Structure 1
């Protein structure tokens, strides 16, 4: 994946996608596979904003039973299966354990019926998955003893057993997002990060070109296209306004979701009932749930829903956000003994707002995606805006969007093949066998090899080749037991990493669990400076920007 600004300026594209998150990149992949000439323009780095702020879950929609929305369940179940197939190194089954403390709708009997219904509705969940490690087992009832043993500190009084069911989890959501981009690029898609669309050139009700500011080179280009797709997430309203003005209103209202990464709690995912009620459900079992999931040796807590008003670029998680989340966890699950200082990192993002709440500070995130055709909205004939809500169904939405693209062009859509096509790094028949063979043949220890296999999948040997050609790249970064110096060079040369934060947060997993240590940042910055020709001032600026990620404003 090579950044080619000149090619973007010189050519005319069938489709120009504005937004390089998981929705934009998955759509680019689908469109490229179906023979369209595609460009992707991302104002920051690929997957930096909302796509990186998920719960890391690829969920089969069990909670939609409460809404009696079986159609959405079927879509989610199907997309979970497709993710397990497309990226077997990055998506893995995850067990959930749900304790019960009463009978009736919140009891084990109701939960068992829900799990049975889920098993029936998802009857084909494993069909087409030849790897047994990727299979989703049936739900089962669990005893008090198992609940207490597997969730340390769980309240014993009144416990009525529970239930176990499986969903799926992303090992590294940033690399999964990137895999869509890498796969699109392999099919001829021309993508650029740090390429901000500043206005649309409109003539006779059609966008002729997007004016783009290259935030790296500093120049301005025009990217011409036949059809434009706005997939900018929280910026979607702002981007749509660029057909009319160079200075759009930047104030938005969104749901603000915050997740915390802290000390490990259990070897199984579980839910904790919050004090916030979900008025949208038809079958009521109590309040909204927080999920606590084991993730890369830590506990992942999420997610909050509060109201955000302001410009998307001003969005930030604050000390107040973290402190309030920790305080609520201490109140509803004191056994976690979670303290502010236990939190090693935090992530968050903005989602569309659904129904209003009587509490003006509470937001209900929307549950449904939208595909807006601007020919009906404001007379722009060749602009679609997509508002997504769930990472899990990105491939499904991409399929729908590309269908719409062909129909708008008056053509019959070719078949969509993404559900049965491996993503970059996903060419693995059986993951356990693949991992075992990688450990057998790797020049590194099992810890490093597992890290490479889980992050790069079948492409892990591209890192090995770099290290073999330059032995100085075969060692880990200072303070890291896993991330190799070769990964930094690979990210720059093959994955369009242009800034220190790109490498630390999205090409490697060096900094995604918390601050990796100053020595690791320094060494990474030195490698990048040498490769990209940074001077001392630029290197210092990059280090300052990376350090700022781990400093919260007061709020």
Structure 2
């Protein structure tokens, strides 16, 4: 990793969706910006959500109409700016006598939700009676059921790809992006923060980079970033852990997302079709340990399985049906004494002056509203730099894979001799950048080596990840560029070949390739299914205790 030879206007710490959005907006508006990330693009909380792009229906209960309106507006923008990655889908909310929220209140909420998304191009809500919902969702328990509302929100199946495209857009606008760059402490001169020291985690070398504005956008890690070499700062992060279960289709499984109230504690639980399977979530538990250590525990799994079995009696899901799990820590503000579900979800720019002038921490935020958060942060950065801010234009800039006509792209890819499975995969993950994948192998579609026959994944995707998409390790490629980590078998059948292809590109010897394979297998342990007896805990889907 080379040293930086010139100063920047802004340093962004963290390559989650919010940090990437800030880096892009800042670069587009002409600021010299560098982004530093301790691991990889989308290696933190941005990957561990329910992968929905939503207006925040439940925020209406808190009367946070501004956040709902902002979220709905940004949802619509994402439908337009990244149509290959963010897609509308219908959600069902059952109306039941067991609910603490009366049907009339939910209907009023739906009317408000549609009103606040007055600029939407998607379908509004509809109310179904008992007969209609049982016809649409025959697996639902009829006990206490007297209808449902159906409404539209969005889904980003591949949040990792969304983050990658924002990173590409940021880099294309001039931002410098450095992964495996762990910020260790601030540079202080005259009592001001004038930059940071960071460690290259691959070489263990220390480096410095300077800028008059440092934006700490490390999500649930924001309190760690500047503990060393600086005055003690107030606690900002009060994140809660959310866990999800992944299961195959089961008897009575819905075709739509189901968003319903738990009989146990009134929390809202979701059953979400995802990558040909189902994602069940989520929990909301205080978590004060290292966010990187968040894992689904047995109590959370039992809770979520119990909720689905209550909603869908024919499901009969048990821990043996859980293929894998994942957990993340929401980057919420520290709010001691406040119920987890009541902690505000809006973002705050926290100025560390007078102790650390020049340092601003971004607290909170969510995937749906990352673009607006970035606009707010960059507007603030211009003020701190004493410069007039150009108008933000990211609301009108499609992401790289959204350029061009998808129908024509599909025909052209088929004309290259690619199988339909590969064509649909490339369009879903890369949009019209699918042609960049083909170009890595010289542009000849016929005979392009297939890495994984089940998904149609190509070896050329590895080359693209390394050459254009900032990937530096095998885990970066398989978990966050190609998404094979979440397919059946987790890509383990292809891992040796993938390491060889990447090794040839990066100049790795056999020892380095073996180390990369071990690193990937260790990463997969975070997806493990919890067990009451630790020694019986399977490492990953399909393994044996």
The reply on whether 1:44 has 2:39 as its aligned counterpart is yes
- Say whether the 8 Å CA contact 1:242–1:248 is kept in structure 2: no
Distance 1:536 1:251 in 2: 44
- Over residues 171-205 of structure 1, what are the superposed CA-to-partner deviations in whole Å (9 max), with x where a residue is unaligned? 31001011111100001111111011111120112
The reply on whether 1:159 has 2:145 as its aligned counterpart is yes
Could you tell me which residue of structure 1 aligns to residue 418 of structure 2?
444
Distance 1:322 1:161 in 2: 28
Q: CA deviation at 1:266?
A: 1.9
- Say whether the 8 Å CA contact 1:233–1:388 is kept in structure 2: yes
TM-score normalised by structure 2 residue count: 0.89
Cα gap change, 1:326 to 1:442, in 2 (>3 Å)? farther
Distance 2:114 2:315 in 1: 31
Distance 1:438 1:114 in 2: 45
Q: Secondary structure of the equivalent of 2:305?
A: helix
Distance 1:249 1:310 in 2: 17
Distance 2:420 2:489 in 1: 24
Q: Secondary structure of the equivalent of 2:422?
A: helix
The reply on whether 1:77 has 2:72 as its aligned counterpart is yes
Aligned with residue 185 of structure 1, among 171, 175, 178: 171
Aligned with residue 244 of structure 2, among 255, 259, 262: 259
- Say whether the 8 Å CA contact 2:291–2:328 is kept in structure 1: no
Distance 1:353 1:370 in 2: 8
Q: CA deviation at 1:503?
A: 0.8
Cα gap change, 1:270 to 1:190, in 2 (>3 Å)? same
Distance 2:336 2:235 in 1: 21
Which residues of 2 match residues 336-347 of structure 1 at below 5 A? 336-347=315-326
Aligned with residue 432 of structure 2, among 452, 458, 474: 458
Which residues of 2 match residues 297-376 of structure 1 at below 5 A? 297-318=276-297, 321-331=300-310, 333-351=312-330, 352=332, 355-356=335-336, 366-376=344-354
- Say whether the 8 Å CA contact 2:410–2:427 is kept in structure 1: no
Could you tell me which residue of structure 1 aligns to residue 258 of structure 2?
270
Q: CA deviation at 1:309?
A: 2.3
- Say whether the 8 Å CA contact 2:403–2:432 is kept in structure 1: yes
Distance 2:95 2:236 in 1: 43
Q: Secondary structure of the equivalent of 1:93?
A: strand
Aligned with residue 273 of structure 2, among 275, 294, 300: 294
Cα gap change, 1:253 to 1:411, in 2 (>3 Å)? closer
Aligned with residue 550 of structure 1, among 485, 510, 524: 524
Q: Secondary structure of the equivalent of 2:524?
A: coil
Any unmatched runs of 5+ in structure 2? Answer: 535-545
- Say whether the 8 Å CA contact 1:207–1:228 is kept in structure 2: yes
Distance 1:252 1:124 in 2: 34
Q: Secondary structure of the equivalent of 1:384?
A: strand
Distance 1:38 1:239 in 2: 18
The reply on whether 1:410 has 2:386 as its aligned counterpart is yes
Q: CA deviation at 1:345?
A: 2.5
Q: CA-atom RMSD, angstroms?
A: 2.8
- Say whether the 8 Å CA contact 1:231–1:386 is kept in structure 2: yes
Cα gap change, 1:364 to 1:255, in 2 (>3 Å)? farther
